[in-house]
Amino acid sequence: MKSTLLLLLFALAAVDFSFGNPLVGLFDAACFVVKNNDCPNKNVTFWLYSNATRDAPVQLNPLDLNPWDFQPPRPLKILLHGYTGHRDFAPNNHIRPVLLDNEDVYVISIDYAPLVRYPCYVQAVQNLPLVSKCLAQLINNLVNHGIVQHDQIHIIGFSLGGQVAGQTANYVQRKLTRITGLDPAKPLFILGSDMRRLDPSDADFVDVIHTDTLGRGMLRPMGHVDFYPNFGPLQPGCMEENPDDPGSCNHERAPRFYGESINSTLGFWGRQCASWLVYLFGLCSTRAPQALMGYRVSEEVKGVYFLKTDSKPPFALGMQEEADNTKYVAKFHFHSKHNEIEDDYEPEWGETIPELESNDVEINELEKQLVYKEQEALDEPLT
């Protein structure tokens, strides 16, 4: 049974072939890991937007914050881009305008583009602790100076940004109240401790949306609640939208769904199921509770949820229909709690890209080195 399932997953993963190779930039002279771990760092900048300043954001100096920039008091949403991104790239372009149009909030878009440039994926991953440390410095200073209430801060990170959000928890003085992970990045995050990865201990409430589980994003649950829209190798509409790189379209669906969820009238309703493995076997009850995914998720909901979406905007399909499959499901006694592959299994790049097999550098070795480096970085005091 287990091997059949693995074969199936590999077959699915093979469809999503087009994501970049993380080793491409490994020996590229243009790629660098920042040696200087001091914050603020000129390669990590913070841009404050409000409805009034949406076209002329204020660049923040974490060491010299102006309380008037945050008057009147409003909730603060912090957006983090991913690999090859910048402050106007996903998730910023999908979420910031909708927030400013519809919600009375401040938005800080972080820009760390110089540290996550193509083709330097491995170095980008190594630069993340610095980004996290600098973000934590900003948050600590905003809170300590009474400029923003601690419980008003919500971090939303896409891809590598999702992992930055998780790592920021290592440096903040008070536990964060909410983190949203939008298809948190997988490559080089499979091994190692939760300190490097987004996980439920990083904030009082962590909600995660997974849209490219067999490629760039993580398959395993990472939050208090995890949503899997259109679980499978391909998000609807992505083959048409980006036939050369449907995986990149899958990945970016997470911030697009999230942006739409802010003011969607129908809403993205997921239905709870024990796990993705149970879902894969088609054994989820169609009577399980439903929960709203995205910006308006209830902080009470826990567990794993599945839903379908449309192939183009508006993507949301509303509540799921009630049907009764309890008799069918009851025939199977599926003990998901004791399944060895479920919690840790991740379809990996090395498994799906044949050319990596001949490469001298072992991905697993690299991951171990990264863990080591980041532990070192954590020992430094934070100012």
CA 14 to chain centre: 22
If one asks whether residue 66 binds ligand NAG (CB under 6 A), the answer comes out as no
If one asks whether residue 34 binds ligand NAG (CB under 6 A), the answer comes out as yes
Q: Stretches 40-48, 336-344, 346-354, 367-375: which one binds ligand NAG (CB under 6 A)?
A: 40-48
Q: Stretches 18-26, 98-106, 295-303, 350-358: which one binds ligand NAG (CB under 6 A)?
A: 98-106
Is 194 a known active-site residue? Answer: no
Q: Which one-letter amino acid corresponds to residue 317?
A: L
Nearest to ligand NAG of 154, 197 (CB atom): 154
Q: Which of 111, 183, 202, 226 is catalytic?
A: 183
**Mutual angle of helices 363-378 and 121-144, in 10-degree steps:** 20
Is 150 a known active-site residue? Answer: no
Distance, CA of 69 to CA of 227 (rounded, Å): 35
- Which of 69, 88, 101, 299 contacts ligand NAG by CB under 6 A? 101
- In whole angstroms, the minimum distance from the beta carbon of 35 to ligand NAG comes to 8
Q: Is the CB of residue 341 less than 8 Å from the CB of residue 5?
A: yes
Distance, CA of 244 to CA of 145 (rounded, Å): 49
* Local structure of residue 185 (DSSP, 8 states): B
Residue length of the chain: 383
Nearest-CB residue to ligand NAG? 101
Three-class secondary structure of residue 218 per DSSP: coil
If one asks whether residue 71 binds ligand NAG (CB under 6 A), the answer comes out as no
- Which of 51, 272, 286, 290 contacts ligand NAG by CB under 6 A? 51
Distance, CA of 160 to CA of 308 (rounded, Å): 25
Nearest to ligand NAG of 72, 354 (CB atom): 72
If one asks whether residue 37 binds ligand NAG (CB under 6 A), the answer comes out as no
- In whole angstroms, the minimum distance from the beta carbon of 126 to ligand NAG comes to 13
Distance, CA of 191 to CA of 180 (rounded, Å): 21
Nearest to ligand NAG of 114, 303 (CB atom): 114
Q: Which of 159, 248, 261, 275 is catalytic?
A: 159
Residues 6+ apart with CB under 8 A from 245: 18, 19
Reading the block at residue 141, the tokens are 């200073």
- In whole angstroms, the minimum distance from the beta carbon of 72 to ligand NAG comes to 11
- Which of 58, 98, 147, 288 contacts ligand NAG by CB under 6 A? 98
Cβ atoms within 10 A of the Cβ of 99, count? 23
The site string for ligand NAG over 214-253 (x = CB under 6 A, - otherwise) reads ----------------------------------------
Q: What is the DSSP string of 267-294?
A: -BEEEEES-HHHHHTT---TTS-EEE-S
Distance, CA of 95 to CA of 264 (rounded, Å): 13
Distance, CA of 61 to CA of 47 (rounded, Å): 9
Distance, CA of 124 to CA of 114 (rounded, Å): 9
**Cis peptide bond upstream of 347, omega within 30:** no
Is 251 a known active-site residue? Answer: yes
- Which of 18, 43, 53, 272 contacts ligand NAG by CB under 6 A? 43
If one asks whether residue 265 binds ligand NAG (CB under 6 A), the answer comes out as yes
Nearest to ligand NAG of 114, 232 (CB atom): 114
The residues annotated with a catalytic role in the active site are 159, 183, 251
Binding site for ligand NAG (CB under 6 A): 34, 36, 41-43, 51, 97-98, 101-102, 104, 114, 263, 265
